[in-house]
Amino acid sequence: MPELPEVETTRAGIEPHLVGEVVTAVKAYQRQLRRPVSARLATALKGGMFESVTRRGKYLLLKSGRGSVIIHLGMSGSLRLVAEGVVLEKHDHVEFFLASGGSLRYRDPRRFGLVLWTAKDPLQHPLIAKLGVEPLAAAFDADYLHSIAQQRSVAIKQLIMNGQVVVGVGNIYASEALFRAGVHPARAAKRLSRARCERLVSAIRAVLSEAIKQGGTTLRDFYNGAGEPGYFKQRLQVYGRGGEPCVSCGAAIRQTVQGQRSTWYCGRCQR
């Protein structure tokens, strides 16, 4: 489900309700996610207070005085704050009980996500330490992308979806950014000029920023921490629009598959 805008929307939604909250208990109803839920999570976090809720790429970092919870939402994960006594839904796998009443619930039907505990700096965790740059940070610029792209023969779409290069760009926003930049998704990365890298960087930043403002994209089951959908779906120009006319030139939007993921693009506007 979630790419950077959806994770950021989730983060912003839960942060004000979690910071300063003491965790009274943690229950894992299903430990088998992409990796098992950390065995020490419940005992280590109990009695601790959440100090911050931050994000690195698509990872959420819930820092307490004793260590941090690292959460990844995978394809279908979500976090929701619920009042006391609300019945558990199917696929609610982990629940953090809060001293002021209520709880934070992690739900993930496909179980591709993660709920891990680390007593150390979460940014040093093996899954996080080698991540690429944040797309909305100054370090993500034309020089950076071009210098990497020049050495790679993969399709540019797969390059911008590679978390070791730049984090947070998933299948929806990759297609959307390439369309805005006029770049064909299958073009070899090394065949992108610096000028076109610059356009692509701008497009990625713009599409992610706009999506964050809209509260993310709800295709079917993404909801923010309070249960509300995101509104960026109405702004999608190519994703999921195979056969429909291009908003710019009217040609039919094409669908193809790259790296086992669907890609949508305009064969006339994107080169």
Shortest Cβ distance from residue 46 to DNA (Å)?
Answer: 28
Catalytic residue among 2, 5, 122, 135: 2
Q: Sign (positive/negative) of CA torsion 217, 111, 136, 225?
A: positive
Which has the closest alpha carbon to 109: 75, 144, 148?
Answer: 75
Cβ atoms within 10 Å, residue 43 = 11
Shortest Cβ distance from residue 55 to DNA (Å)?
Answer: 12
Q: Which is nearer to DNA, 48 or 216 (CB)?
A: 216
Enter the tokens of residue 244.
């429909």
**Judging by DSSP bridges, how do beta strands 92-98 and 114-118 pair with one another?**
unpaired
Per the annotation, the verdict on 244 as an active-site residue is no
Per the annotation, the verdict on 36 as an active-site residue is no
How many angstroms separate the CA atoms of 149 and 201, rounded? 12
Q: Which is nearer to DNA, 79 or 98 (CB)?
A: 79
Shortest Cβ distance from residue 125 to DNA (Å)?
Answer: 10
Per the annotation, the verdict on 58 as an active-site residue is yes
Shortest Cβ distance from residue 12 to DNA (Å)?
Answer: 15
String of DSSP letters for 117-151: EESS-GGGSHHHHT--B-TTSTT-SHHHHHHHHTT
Shortest Cβ distance from residue 217 to DNA (Å)?
Answer: 5
DSSP 3-state assignment of 157? helix
Residues that bind DNA (CB under 7 A): 1-3, 6, 32, 34, 57-58, 72, 74-76, 90-91, 109-112, 127, 151-155, 158, 161, 163, 170-172, 189, 216-222, 230, 259-262
How many angstroms separate the CA atoms of 35 and 38, rounded? 8
Catalytic residue among 11, 55, 58, 196: 58
Per the annotation, the verdict on 3 as an active-site residue is yes
Task: From residue 21, give the alpha-carbon distance in Å to each of 47, 63, 78, 187.
Answer: 10, 11, 20, 49
**Would you please indicate which residues are annotated as catalytic (active-site) residues?**
2-3, 58, 261
